[in-house]
């Protein structure tokens, strides 16, 4: 299936303490985190379009020679959800994948599993089983220990029929609701089921200096 990709790369990355957008930090090979996040989609023939939601000046300054025909830029919003919405406004594909610009280690096998799911599902996301015991804490005290076997860590990409996500984004904006991720909007504003697809523990989101 042909699809578009929206890469969300407009955050400040304050927890990285870099003083600039963390997606432009460079890994050991001298290339930026964002470039690594883009590569897998640039090299996938099924990806017809990549929209990078970021500051255009930052992009041009840090990403040299990266302007092939299927890359466009969109302006970031005040929140991640608004940034995704801005990116969706540019999408031409019937299906869309939303990916974090700070996840540079997405592997081909995970992407192919997600693409396969999208052939039959309206929404799907990569996720991995929780390794740790999770505690629900209220006012500083543990109130519940959920069954770890029912819990998974959500990753990106998260994949959708474009029309479905656009409609759920519209309803969320009308209600003033901000979800914790993109699939949470589909869960709230549609009857579509979200397929859990096996991801990889290597597909981390770079958030703090220790992640580098």
The pLDDT value given to residue 15: 60
Total count of domains within the chain? 1
Q: Is residue 97 assigned to a domain?
A: yes
Helix axes 162-175, 182-189, angle to 10 degrees: 80
| Largest interatomic CA distance in the chain | 54
Q: What is the pLDDT of residues 117-149, one digit of tens each?
A: 999 999 999 999 999 999 999 999 999 999 999
Q: Is residue 209 assigned to a domain?
A: no
Pairing outcome for strands 141-144 and 71-74: unpaired
Domain that holds residue 51: 3-203
pTM of the prediction?
Answer: 0.93
Residue among 36, 49, 45 nearest 6 (CA)? 49
* Whether the predicted pLDDT of 67 surpasses 80: no
Q: Is residue 67 assigned to a domain?
A: yes
Residue among 38, 182, 171 nearest 123 (CA)? 182
Q: Is residue 210 assigned to a domain?
A: no
- Report how far residue 145's alpha carbon sits from residue 135's, in angstroms, rounded to the nearest whole number: 5
Q: Is residue 212 assigned to a domain?
A: no
Q: Is residue 113 assigned to a domain?
A: yes
Measured in degrees and rounded to the nearest 5, phi and psi for residue 72 equal: -130, 165
- Report how far residue 147's alpha carbon sits from residue 135's, in angstroms, rounded to the nearest whole number: 10
Q: Is residue 184 assigned to a domain?
A: yes
- Report how far residue 51's alpha carbon sits from residue 20's, in angstroms, rounded to the nearest whole number: 21
CATH of the domain at 105: 3.90.550.10
Q: Is residue 211 assigned to a domain?
A: no
């Amino acid at each position: 299936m042909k699809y578009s990709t929206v890469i969300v790369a407009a955050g400040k990355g304050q927890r990285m303490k870099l003083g600039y957008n963390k997606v432009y930090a460079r890994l050991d090979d001298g290339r930026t985190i964002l470039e690594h996040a883009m590569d897998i989609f640039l090299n996938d023939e099924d990806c017809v379009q990549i929209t990078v939601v970021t500051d255009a000046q930052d992009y041009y300054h840090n990403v040299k020679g990266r302007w092939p025909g299927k890359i466009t830029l969109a302006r970031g919003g005040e929140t991640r959800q608004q940034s995704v919405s801005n990116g969706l406004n540019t999408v031409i594909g019937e299906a869309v994948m939303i990916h974090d610009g700070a996840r540079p280690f997405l592997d081909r096998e995970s992407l192919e599993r997600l693409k396969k799911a999208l052939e039959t599902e309206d929404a799907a996301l990569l996720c991995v089983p929780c390794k740790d015991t999770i505690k629900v804490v209220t006012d500083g005290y543990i109130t519940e220990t959920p069954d770890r076997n029912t819990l998974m860590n959500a990753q990106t990409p998260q994949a959708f029929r474009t029309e479905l996500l656009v409609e759920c984004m519209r309803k969320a904006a009308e209600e003033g609701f901000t979800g914790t991720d993109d699939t949470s909007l589909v869960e709230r504003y549609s009857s579509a089921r979200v397929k859990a697809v096996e991801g990889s523990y290597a597909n981390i989101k770079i958030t703090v200096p220790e992640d580098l």
